[in-house]
Amino acid sequence: MVTFARGFKASGVACGLKKNGRKDLAVVISDSPCVCAGVYTTNIVKGHSLQLTMERMETSPYVNAVVVNSGCANACVGQRGYDDAQLITEYLAQKLNVDKETVLIGSTGVIGVPLNVELIRKGIDKAFDELSYIGGHDAMEAIMTTDTVPKLYEKETVIGGKTVRIGGMAKGSGMIHPNMATMISIITTDANISKKMLDKALSNVVNKTFNRVSVDGDTSVCDMCLVMASQMAGNECIEEDGSEYILFEQALYEVCLNLAKAIAKDGEGATKLVEIEVVNAKSKEDADLITSAIAKSPLCKTAFFGEDANWGRIITAAGYSKAYFEPNRIDIYIGGLAVCKNGVALEFDEDIAIGILKQDEFKILVDLNLGSEKSIMWTCDFSYDYVKINGSYRS
Amino acid sequence: MVTFARGFKASGVACGLKKNGRKDLAVVISDSPCVCAGVYTTNIVKGHSLQLTMERMETSPYVNAVVVNSGCANACVGQRGYDDAQLITEYLAQKLNVDKETVLIGSTGVIGVPLNVELIRKGIDKAFDELSYIGGHDAMEAIMTTDTVPKLYEKETVIGGKTVRIGGMAKGSGMIHPNMATMISIITTDANISKKMLDKALSNVVNKTFNRVSVDGDTSVCDMCLVMASQMAGNECIEEDGSEYILFEQALYEVCLNLAKAIAKDGEGATKLVEIEVVNAKSKEDADLITSAIAKSPLCKTAFFGEDANWGRIITAAGYSKAYFEPNRIDIYIGGLAVCKNGVALEFDEDIAIGILKQDEFKILVDLNLGSEKSIMWTCDFSYDYVKINGSYRS
C-alpha cells in the first residue's frame, strides 16, 4: 500500500460525496519533497482535477501530497471545476504548510456534477487528523468506486546494498481500457531516483501493465497513475541506465502488473480473469491489435462468462482486428487445450474445456505461426452484473 | 420480402441443422437469369460458403438461385467446408437444371462445425417442392438465428413509366457492426438494370444503411448482402447515371435502411433502438469515429438499457474515439433535451429525461459546433438478455 515505503503517511475518510456514507476522500503525503512521475488518460476530454495535476507536473519539480476523491469526477462542469480543484489543493497545502504547486489532485466518479468543496474541506480536516504511517488501507478504501476489493501491492528489493520499498494502490473496475481508463493508481517508493529515470521507468512499465488491461473498452476522462519517490532508502541516486535502474524498473513492474491484473479481475461484474496472448505475429502491432480485439469483444467476453469454448468468436475477433495474419495458419488454445489448428476446428473434449473455463483464471493463446512478435493482455468476462452495475450507476 | 418482385420464388424448410426443429434452409430462385450485386464481410477470416459465393460473383455474369442455411456457419473447417459448399450448390443447380456457377450460397451459425450435407440435400428436395411466389416469409424464417422477429421490407416505385418492385429480407442480431457483421440480406428486384449500375447502387446504399448499424461491435466471417435483379419490370435498362438510376437507388436505400434499422432494433437482448447523430464535425471521418464509438460503448449501451441520462459516458466515448473536436464546444442532446452545452453540464429535468429514455426509440445528438460534416448510426441497448443469449449460444 502507499504507506509501505518509508516517508509516506496516508488516510482515508468519508466526507459525504458518496451517498452511502462510505469513505470517499484519500490523502497521501510525503515527509519530504518527492520527485514524481505521472501518466494520464489519452481521452481528449479531461477532468478538471486531472487538468490541474497535469499542469503542476509540468512545472513543479517536487510533489508533497496527493488528494483523491471518489464519488464525483469533477469533469465537464466548466471553469468552476478547475477553480474547485485549485481551492481543494490550496486548502490541503495550507494545512501541510507547503507550496500549493506541490499538491496534486485526482477525482473519480460521475461526470457533470460539481464537487462539493465545503464537504471536501471538512473531509481534509478529518483526513489530516487521521494521517498515519499505516493509513494506506484507509486511503485505498476511499478511492474505490464500483471496485469490490481493495487493490494493493508491495514489493521490497535491494538496490546498491539498500532496501528499497515500493507500494501502491489502484482503483478502477469499469471503463478500463488502454490507455489509462477510469483508473487511478498512486504508487510510492523510498527509492532515491532522478525525475528523469522515474519518468522512464513508469512509462516503460505502464505500457506493459496498466495499458494491457481491458474491462469494457471504454477509456475515461479522469485517470492517472502517479509514482512519488521519497528518496529515503539511502541508495545512491539512480540517475542513468544500468543494473540499479533495471532492478528498480523490475520492482515497479511487479507492483504495476499485480495492480493491473487485480483491476481486470475486479472488472465490473467480472467472474474471471482472462489472459489473452498472441504469439508469432509478423509485427508487434498486429499482435497488439488481436489481443485488444479479443479482450474487447462482447461476444468473446460473454462466452467466457457462459463457460462456452466458442473459439469461433476468438478467430472472428482476430479477423476484424485489422491485423495481418493468414487464416489458414492460426492455432488457438484455451487454457492449453488446442481447439483450432491451421484455422480449422479440432475435435476436443468439451468436458476438459468446461473444466478450464470454470476456473477463476485461464489463458487464451493465439499462435499466428508467422513471425516472432507477441502481445499479452488481461481482461475479464461480461456478466449479468456488468449490465446491472452499469445500467444504474449514476442514478 | 424476396417474393415481392416479379420473377422470384422462394421457400424455407427445416432440414435438421437447428436442434430445435425450426426452419433452417432457405432457397430463393429466379425464373430467369439475374444480374446480381453483392457486398461481403471485411473480416479477413471468411466462411467457406461465402468464399465460394464471392468467387462465383467474380466470374459468373448471371445468377439463378441462392441457398442459405442457418444453424451452421460453415467456417473454419478447412477444405471440407469449401467442398461442401460446392456439393450443395451443385445439387441445387441440378434440380433447377442450371449451371452451378449461377447458384450462390450463404451460411450462418456456429463456427468450426462442418455442414451436414446429407441433411441439406434432403432439405433442398423439400424446399424445391415447396417453392412458391409467396414463399418469401418462409425463406425469412429459415435464415433466422438469434433474431426474434422476421425482417422484411417491400418497396414499389415507378421508373420510366413502369412499376418496379424491390423486396428484401435480412437476418442478424448479434455481432452486427460495420462492416457487414453476422448479417445476411437477400434482396430481389424486377428492375431492369445493368450489373455495373446495380453494383454502384448497392455499394452506395450499404454504406448509408447496413454499415451504419452496430449491435456489439463484432464483425463476423459469413456475412453478405446480395441483390438479384430479374429485369421483369419492363423498364428500359438502367445503364448509366440519371433520374432513373436515382429513383432506383432511392428505393433500394429505403429497403436497406428499413432492414438495417430492424436489425439494430432486434439486436440480441435489445429493448431500444437508438439513433446516434453527430453534426457539425470538422470532417466526415471525425463524425464517423464518434458515432461509432458511442454506438459500440458498453457503458453507453448499458446506460440506455438502465434508462439513465448518463451523458458523461457519451462525451467520454467521443473523447476516446480519436476524432478531433474541442471539448469546450460540444453540445449533447438526449431525444431533444439539452444535457450538455459547450462541454459543461446543464441542469435538466430528470423526469423528462427518463420519459425520453423509456421510449422504444430515441435519438442521441452530438453537436461539435466546428464544421459542417455529419454522421448517423443506429444501435441498441445492452441488456441482461444480451449476456444471457451470448453466454450460452453455442452450447
Q: Name the more confident of A69 and B44.
A: A69
Residue A346 buriedness (CB in 10 A; 0-12 / 13-18 / 19+): middle
Integer Cα distance of A343 and B80 in angstroms: 13
Question: SS3 for B87?
Answer: helix
* A382 chain-B contacts, CB cut-off 8 A: 298, 387
Give the dihedral of Cα atoms B145, B224, B137, B395; nearest 10 deg. Answer: -10
Q: pLDDT digit string (tens) for A94-133? A: 999 999 999 999 999 888 999 999 999 999 999 999 999 9
- Whether B175 and A316 lie within 8 Å, measured CB to CB: yes
Cis peptide before B179 (omega within 30 of 0): yes
Model ipTM?
0.78
CATH class of B273-391: alpha beta
Per-residue pLDDT for B177 more than 70?
Answer: no
Scan residues 2-31 of A and list those with Cβ closer than 8 Å to B: none
State the residue for C-alpha cell 476522462: A221
- Whether B315 and A394 lie within 8 Å, measured CB to CB: no
* A78 chain-B contacts, CB cut-off 8 A: 342-345
Give me the half-sphere count of Cα atoms (radius 13 Å) on the Cβ side of residue B69.
29
The CA distance from B213 to the nearest CA of chain A, in Å, is: 16
Which helix (H) or strand (E) segment is B148 a member of? Answer: none
Other C-beta atoms lying within 10 Å of the C-beta of residue B163: 13
B40 touches A: beta carbon within 8 Å: no
Nearest residue in chain B measured CA to CA from A307: B391
Q: What are phi and psi of A22, to 5 degrees?
A: -80, 165
Q: Name the more confident of A4 and B109.
A: A4
Q: What is the mean pLDDT of chain A?
A: 91
Length of chain B: 395
Q: Name the more confident of B266 and A14.
A: A14
Cβ–Cβ < 8 Å for B37, B189: no
B157 carries an active-site annotation? no
**Which of the four pLDDT bands, split at 50, 70 and 90, describes residue B221?**
confident
Q: Suggest the residue from B179, B310, B341, B379 to mutate for an interface test with chain A (most A CBs closer than 10 A).
A: B310
Question: Who's near A140: CB < 8 A, 6+ residues apart?
Answer: A1, A2, A12, A26, A150, A151, A152, A169, A171
- Whether B42 and A320 lie within 8 Å, measured CB to CB: yes
Q: pLDDT digit string (tens) for A360-387? A: 999 999 999 999 999 999 988 887 776 7
- Mean pLDDT across the stretch B13-18? 95
Q: pLDDT digit string (tens) for B52-77? A: 999 999 999 999 999 999 999 999 99
The CA distance from A311 to the nearest CA of chain B, in Å, is: 8
Q: Which of A55-69, B4-18, B125-139, B376-390 has the lowest mean pLDDT?
A: B376-390
Question: SS3 for A194?
Answer: coil
Scan residues 55-84 of B and list those with Cβ closer than 8 Å to A: 73, 75-78
Q: pLDDT digit string (tens) for A49-86? A: 999 999 999 999 999 999 999 999 999 999 999 999 99
**Which of the four pLDDT bands, split at 50, 70 and 90, describes residue A180?**
very low
Integer Cα distance of B269 and B190 in angstroms: 36
* B308 chain-A contacts, CB cut-off 8 A: 391-395
Per-residue pLDDT for A270 more than 70?
Answer: yes
- Whether A299 and B174 lie within 8 Å, measured CB to CB: yes
Question: SS3 for B262?
Answer: helix
* A75 chain-B contacts, CB cut-off 8 A: 312
Q: Which of A351-365, B153-167, B192-206 has the lowest mean pLDDT?
A: A351-365
Scan residues 171-210 of B and list those with Cβ closer than 8 Å to A: 174-175
* B388 chain-A contacts, CB cut-off 8 A: 384
Residue A19 buriedness (CB in 10 A; 0-12 / 13-18 / 19+): exposed
Cα dihedral sign, A252-A254-A259-A263? positive
Of B201, B225, B191, B172, nearest in space to B57 by CA: B225
Per-residue pLDDT for B158 more than 50?
Answer: yes
Question: SS3 for A382?
Answer: coil
**What interhelical angle do A298-305 and A284-296 show, nearest 10?**
60
**Per-residue pLDDT, B382:** 82
**Per-residue pLDDT, A372:** 96
B388 touches A: beta carbon within 8 Å: yes
Cβ–Cβ < 8 Å for A31, A40: no
Per-residue pLDDT for B385 more than 80?
Answer: no
Cβ–Cβ < 8 Å for B350, B273: no
**Which of the four pLDDT bands, split at 50, 70 and 90, describes residue A179?**
very low
Catalytic position from the list B53, B102, B145, B182: B182
Per-residue pLDDT for A204 more than 80?
Answer: yes
Every domain of chain B and the residues it spans: 8-264, 273-391
- Whether A384 and B388 lie within 8 Å, measured CB to CB: yes
B234 touches A: beta carbon within 8 Å: no
Supply A2's cell numbers: 502507499
* B387 chain-A contacts, CB cut-off 8 A: 302, 305, 382-384, 386-387
Integer Cα distance of A127 and B373 in angstroms: 50
* Helices within B97-183 (DSSP H only): 117-130, 136-143
**Per-residue pLDDT, A178:** 47
- Mean pLDDT across the stretch B258-276? 87
- Whether B113 and A345 lie within 8 Å, measured CB to CB: yes
Q: pLDDT digit string (tens) for A123-156? A: 999 999 999 999 999 999 999 988 888 999 999 9
Cβ–Cβ < 8 Å for B29, B9: yes
Cβ–Cβ < 8 Å for A318, A290: yes
Considering the four listed CATH numbers 1.10.10.10, 3.30.930.10, 2.40.110.10, 3.60.70.12, the one that applies to the domain covering B8-264 is 3.60.70.12
- Whether A303 and B394 lie within 8 Å, measured CB to CB: yes
Which helix (H) or strand (E) segment is A312 a member of? Answer: helix A311-320
Question: Who's near B338: CB < 8 A, 6+ residues apart?
Answer: B331, B332, B346, B348
**Per-residue pLDDT, B2:** 96
* Helices within B216-297 (DSSP H only): 243-265, 284-296
The CA distance from B384 to the nearest CA of chain A, in Å, is: 5
Percent pLDDT > 70 in chain A is 94
Q: Name the more confident of A321 and A393.
A: A321
Q: What are phi and psi of A390, to 5 degrees?
A: -90, -15
Q: Strand pairing of B273-281 and B361-367? A: parallel
Nearest residue in chain A measured CA to CA from B216: A298
Question: How far is the CA of A125 from the CAs of A30, A52, A130, B259, in angstroms?
Answer: 17, 22, 9, 61
- Whether B316 and A219 lie within 8 Å, measured CB to CB: yes
- Mean pLDDT across the stretch B381-388? 75
**Which of the four pLDDT bands, split at 50, 70 and 90, describes residue B218?**
low
**What interhelical angle do A311-320 and A284-296 show, nearest 10?**
130
Considering the four listed CATH numbers 3.40.50.10140, 3.60.70.12, 2.40.160.20, 1.10.287.70, the one that applies to the domain covering A8-265 is 3.60.70.12
Integer Cα distance of A333 and A366 in angstroms: 6
**What interhelical angle do B298-305 and B284-296 show, nearest 10?**
60
Residue A342 buriedness (CB in 10 A; 0-12 / 13-18 / 19+): middle
Which helix (H) or strand (E) segment is B199 a member of? Answer: helix B195-208
State the residue for C-alpha cell 485549485: A86
Cis peptide before A179 (omega within 30 of 0): yes
DSSP conformation letters of A279-295:
EEESSHHHHHHHHHHHH
The CA distance from B79 to the nearest CA of chain A, in Å, is: 9
Q: Suggest the residue from A290, A310, A320, A393 to mutate for an interface test with chain B (most B CBs closer than 10 A).
A: A320
- Whether A218 and B45 lie within 8 Å, measured CB to CB: no
Q: Which of A310, A316, A387 sits opposite B45 (nearest CB)?
A: A316
**Per-residue pLDDT, A392:** 60
Integer Cα distance of B328 and B341 in angstroms: 8
**At residue A317, what is the residue type?**
A
**Per-residue pLDDT, B390:** 64
Integer Cα distance of B120 and B74 in angstroms: 12
What's the DSSP call for residue A97? T
- Whether B218 and A316 lie within 8 Å, measured CB to CB: yes
Q: Which of A44, A299, A312 sits opposite B390 (nearest CB)?
A: A299
Question: Who's near B193: CB < 8 A, 6+ residues apart?
Answer: B35, B201, B229, B231, B237, B238, B239, B245, B248
- Whether A298 and B382 lie within 8 Å, measured CB to CB: yes
Q: Which residues of A are catalytic?
A: 182
**Per-residue pLDDT, B179:** 42
* B216 chain-A contacts, CB cut-off 8 A: 297-299
Q: Name the more confident of B218 and A148.
A: A148
B43 touches A: beta carbon within 8 Å: yes
Q: pLDDT digit string (tens) for A211-225? A: 888 765 567 788 899
Per-residue pLDDT for B15 more than 60?
Answer: yes
* B222 chain-A contacts, CB cut-off 8 A: none
